[in-house]
């Protein structure tokens, strides 16, 4: 059996899986690994579309040679310059010295800046084409999805798009490459987490990119640089990206994200969760920010319609883990969420005030007055959480 999958006649998947790396970009946990997808088009000329992380360069070269034998690679098309996709460029040039590197002006500047590589290049602009034989590739720029040089490569004759990081997700490929040949269930939450953490700030550019892709007409196959190749399930992927880039919640539910040093703020969080359940809110997601990694919290903030943050006062500021979440949310410029907050303090309260200032900066309205508990938690001191639950349930 060959290692290399021919996804359609003349188009090979030559990517690799990474089940070793603990954190993507040194930040985001990878409990199910990640794939680095590269594709090889075999025509009168041979084109390699993107490469892989440097740790897997030799495997990429083996895959390419298995697919085409002794034929040379004529073109290397670079859709995106992040090193998890571009780090093997130098090795490709060494293996096939005559290869022409194809990219837009920003891409070619980055090739020089990252890797100091000269030699044959072909600069392409929006809508330009490249004939390989019976196929012609067309290139379309989608800047800031999510770097300024990003583009997609379209093969009109096959209704196929190589989409770069767009429509990608965390999660290694467990045997099959194409969606219709696998159980895709594990990828949906990982797609939301990938979007929220990697692309989440760039909703406007994503919307522009979706508009540009719509002009290409029907797409039978979409090949991202992470995750499955999408065919029959691409309409679901497209809908997900459209809603996420409009910052539209995917489901009704309440995320309660809190920090707690000695358990009093946590008890407020637990009470709020019970009050919500008593009012018929079935989807309540709890995150203790000292335990939950930020990437999973951000995923759920993008996914659900309401967010409540709880924090003790810490040195007259927010608890540090809560402050990290607030900073992450501000960076992603989410225009609206149903929002509430609560807090605790011992001798001088500041957390609730800081969370109110955060809501103002985000342009979010409070669903209910904040609740602040002085010193130890009691049911009497936290009675306002019932009214908050009522308001949250009504707002959803």
Residue 223 has pLDDT above 80, yes or no: yes
Strands 151-155 and 221-224: unpaired
Q: Which domains are delineated in the chain?
A: 5-245 (3.60.15.10), 254-395 (3.40.50.360)
Summarised one tens digit per residue, pLDDT across range 231-260 is: 999 999 999 999 999 999 999 999 999 999
CA atoms within 13 A on the CB side of 21: 23
Q: Is the pLDDT of residue 121 over 90?
A: yes
Whether residue 117 has pLDDT greater than 90: no
Is 178:239 a contact under the CB 8 Å cutoff? no
C-alpha to C-alpha distance for 22 and 365, rounded to whole angstroms? 38
Q: HSE (CB half, 13 Å, CA atoms) of 393?
A: 17
Q: What is the mean pLDDT of residues 313-330?
A: 96
Look at residue 318 and tell me whether its pLDDT is greater than 80: yes
Q: In the chain, count of helices (H) and strands (E)?
A: 12, 22
pLDDT digits (tens, 9 = 90+) for 158-176: 999 999 999 999 999 999 9
Q: What one-character DSSP code corresponds to residue 199?
A: I
Give me the pLDDT at residue 381, please: 77
CA dist 392 and 270 (Å) reads 15
Confidence (pLDDT) at 1: 60
Whole-number average pLDDT of the chain: 95
Residue 137 pLDDT greater than 90, yes or no: yes
Write the pLDDT tens digit of every residue in 337-379. 999 999 998 888 899 999 999 999 999 999 999 999 889 888 7
Q: Is the pLDDT of residue 138 over 90?
A: yes
pTM here is 0.94
């Amino acid at each position: 059996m060959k290692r290399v999958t021919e996804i359609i006649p003349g188009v090979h998947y030559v990517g690799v899986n990474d089940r070793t790396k603990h954190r993507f970009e040194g930040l985001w946990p990878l409990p199910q690994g990640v794939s680095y997808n590269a594709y090889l088009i075999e025509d009168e000329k041979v084109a390699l579309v993107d490469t892989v992380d440097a740790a897997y360069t030799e495997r990429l070269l083996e895959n390419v040679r298995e697919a085409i034998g002794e034929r040379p690679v004529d073109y290397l098309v670079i859709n995106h310059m992040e090193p998890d996709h571009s780090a093997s460029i130098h090795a490709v040039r060494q293996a096939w010295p005559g290869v022409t590197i194809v990219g837009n002006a920003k891409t070619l500047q980055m090739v020089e800046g990252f890797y100091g590589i000269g030699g044959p290049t072909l600069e392409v602009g929006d809508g330009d084409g490249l004939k390989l034989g019976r196929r012609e590739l067309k290139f379309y720029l989608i800047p800031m999805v999510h770097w300024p040089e990003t583009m997609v490569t379209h093969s009109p004759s096959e209704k196929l798009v190589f989409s770069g990081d767009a429509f990608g997700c965390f999660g290694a490929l467990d045997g099959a490459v194409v969606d219709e040949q696998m159980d895709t269930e594990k990828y949906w939450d990982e797609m939301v987490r990938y979007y929220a953490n990697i692309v989440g700030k760039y909703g406007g550019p994503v919307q522009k990119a979706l508009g540009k892709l719509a002009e290409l007409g029907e797409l039978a196959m979409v090949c991202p640089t992470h995750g499955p190749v999408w065919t029959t399930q691409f309409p679901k992927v497209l809908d997900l990206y459209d809603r996420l880039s409009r910052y539209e919640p995917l489901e009704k539910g309440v995320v309660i994200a809190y920090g707690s040093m000695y358990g009093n703020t946590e008890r407020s969080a637990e009470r709020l969760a019970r009050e919500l359940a008593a009012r018929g809110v079935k989807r309540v997601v709890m995150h203790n920010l000292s335990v939950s990694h930020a990437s999973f919290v951000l995923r759920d903030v993008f996914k659900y319609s309401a967010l409540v943050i709880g924090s003790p006062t810490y040195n007259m500021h927010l608890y540090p883990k809560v402050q990290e979440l607030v900073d992450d949310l501000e960076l992603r410029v989410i225009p609206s969420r149903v929002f509430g907050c609560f807090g605790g303090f011992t001798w001088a309260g500041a957390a609730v005030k800081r969370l109110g200032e955060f809501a103002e900066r985000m342009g979010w309205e409070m669903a209910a007055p904040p609740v602040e508990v002085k010193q130890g938690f009691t049911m009497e001191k936290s009675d306002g959480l019932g009214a908050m639950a009522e308001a949250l349930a009504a707002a959803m």
